[in-house]
Amino acid sequence: MFRKIADGTFMLRTDERVCGTVYLIEEEGKRLIIDSGDGGLELGFVPDICILTHGHFDHSKGVDDGWKEVLLHPAEFDFAGPHLYIPKNARKNPMKPLAFGSHGLEFLHTPGHTDGSVCVFDRKTRALFSGDTKFADGGWGRTDLGGSDAEMKRSLGLIDGIGYSLLCPGHGGIEKRK
């Protein structure tokens, strides 16, 4: 099911459906996931924290009502684009660094695909979880679903300045950076 991609970090790729890739950081018996998929997955566990990179259903509809901590950028709660699914238990991500075991997570607001798109940078593994902002093939997320080309261009420039070594997008494969 989940495949190891870095120290304490795993991915579950679901290419057979529209569902985005789900990432898992596991340490000291605790589990954090980045994106939840489209609701068609059985994770087999309840995550301690779920971080959503944006509110499109293929990233957020897998959130279960019983999950205690689900974080979503504040702008997504007011975003009027199509295909949104805001879980009832989602709360506004304070966008402050988050320590999860030995993983230091930083949030980057990367609008363009949606107003509240975020990337998550893990200082320990140097992995950048980019949602639908940037893909491993050099592409980027659509902006015609209520997003903005100008915002996407700025967000891609921000990402290029991050010293990541592993790009973990919301769809498709991962990419090691040299």
Element (H, E) at 150: helix 149-160
Which segment of 30-39, 69-78, 169-178 scores lowest on mean pLDDT? 169-178
User: Which pLDDT value is given to residue 20?
Assistant: 79
Q: pLDDT by residue (tens digit) across 59-103?
A: 999 999 999 999 999 999 999 889 999 999 999 999 999 999 999
Q: pLDDT by residue (tens digit) across 98-147?
A: 999 999 999 999 999 999 999 999 999 999 999 999 999 899 999 999 99
CA 117 to chain centre: 9
* Mean pLDDT calculated for residue range 141-159: 96
Using a pLDDT cut of 90, give the percent of the chain over it.
88
Which two structure tokens, joined as six digits, stand for 106? 């930083």
Which two structure tokens, joined as six digits, stand for 156? 């891609």
Domain count, the chain: 1
Give the predicted TM-score (pTM) of the model. Answer: 0.96
* Mean pLDDT calculated for residue range 14-33: 87
User: Which pLDDT value is given to residue 41?
Assistant: 87
User: Which pLDDT value is given to residue 178?
Assistant: 74
CATH number at residue 89: 3.60.15.10
Largest CA distance in the chain: 42
User: Which pLDDT value is given to residue 17?
Assistant: 62
Residue-range definition of the domain harbouring residue 111: 3-176
Q: How sure is the predictor about 16, in pLDDT bands with cuts at 50, 70 and 90?
A: low
